[in-house]
Amino acid sequence: MPKTPNRRLSYKERVQIWTLREVGYQHHEIAHKLGIPRSTVTRCLNTSTPSKPQGRHPKITTPLRILLVQHATQNAEQRRKTREEIAHELGIQACRRTLVKAFEKELYHRRKASEKPFLTQQHIEHRLKWAWEHLYWTEEQWDQVAWGDEMSECCIPKFSGYSSGQVWGIISRYWKGPLIFFKKEWLTKKGTVDSRVYIRQVLPIYGRQQQDPYI
């Protein structure tokens, strides 16, 4: 039974009409095949190529998103403010969900600030002792020293969050060592790095790099 002639065609129906026309179907054949009045088929083909209906425009546009991120990252004080506080300072009215999506589109994600423990008295004494022992070292002596450190970094975005990994690097006055990514199977049962990890995994890679700087 033919459909109501004055109703609005869906995007799928308009695509079907145009597809059948492209493969050689006549207007009356398309109407018969899809159960749509011929006048409706003709009117559809006389318009432009169908396009998906546009959704509503975003409340927070790209320039506003960039402005939000810039304002949120001005300094440490700004980074500790909530999204709502940042938006309020800029005169932008939006709910929390809209603000979260806006920041995420600009790849800006909030994280809880971690507290770094203060130095203990023992730490202070050891560091001061080390500083006095090396106070009068010559440049030639410092040239023989390399400085290494490790850090944990979020690097791979996932659907449920971010995957973090640990890396280690070393530098000296004249050269830069390899950046080593710790593999999961290297870590201890607690997921940490101890001296055994460095001896078994890091030092062999570092030694090979010293022999071949292109590794």
User: Do 149 and 169 contact (CB within 8 A), yes or no?
Assistant: yes
- What is the arithmetic mean of pLDDT over 50-56? 62
User: Do 83 and 110 contact (CB within 8 A), yes or no?
Assistant: yes
Q: In this model, does residue 146 exceed pLDDT 80?
A: yes
Q: What is the pLDDT of residues 82-118, one digit of tens each?
A: 999 999 999 888 888 999 989 988 888 877 767 777 8
Q: What is the pLDDT of residues 201-213, one digit of tens each?
A: 887 877 666 655 5
- The pLDDT of residue 179 is 83
- The pLDDT of residue 141 is 93
Three-class SS state of 176: strand
User: Do 60 and 92 contact (CB within 8 A), yes or no?
Assistant: yes
Amino acid type, 165: G
Q: What is the pLDDT of residues 165-182, one digit of tens each?
A: 788 888 888 888 888 888
24: left (phi over 0), alpha (psi -120 to 50) or beta: left
Three-class SS state of 55: coil
